[in-house]
Amino acid sequence: MATIPIKFYRKICVKLDTSRGCFWDDNRHFGEKIGLSRDEIMLLGQQENTTDLMIRKFDSQKNSSIGKFKKIVAEMERDDIVSIVSEWIVNEWITRCNSSLATVV
């Protein structure tokens, strides 16, 4: 997650920071999925940029990856966020392909 471009990262944070009321599929559920206690989730919920703080905690965990993050949000049935992650992966692939072609030419 540390390498994700800011334009994709911000979209993810905005979507997870937006309270989804009775669905509970916002950053509170994400916090639960990454192993935070209810108290930690409540404390982080009182801070600015809650999702950013949770993603940082996720990144500090062993074996964290964009694939694992994508799996978590898919389990949360947040297809909107899965789409953002997929868009970033495609963008990253195109960028790398273009830079590889530039070095060949």
For residues 49 and 91, the answer to whether their CB atoms sit within 8 Å is: no
Check pLDDT > 90 for residue 97. no
The stretch 29-33 carries a mean pLDDT of 97
pTM: 0.84
Domain edges within the chain: 6-104
The residues near 89 (Cβ < 8 Å, ≥ 6 apart) are 66
How far apart, in whole angstroms, are the C-alpha atoms of residue 44 and residue 53?
7
d(CA 54, CA 48) in angstroms, rounded, equals 11
What CATH topology corresponds to 6-104? Death Domain, Fas (1.10.533)
pLDDT at 93 over 90: no
Per-residue pLDDT at 103 exceeds 70: no
Is the separation of the CB atoms in 15 and 57 below 8 Å? no
What is the tens place of the pLDDT at every residue in 35-90?
A: 999 999 999 999 999 999 999 999 999 999 999 999 999 999 999 999 999 999 99
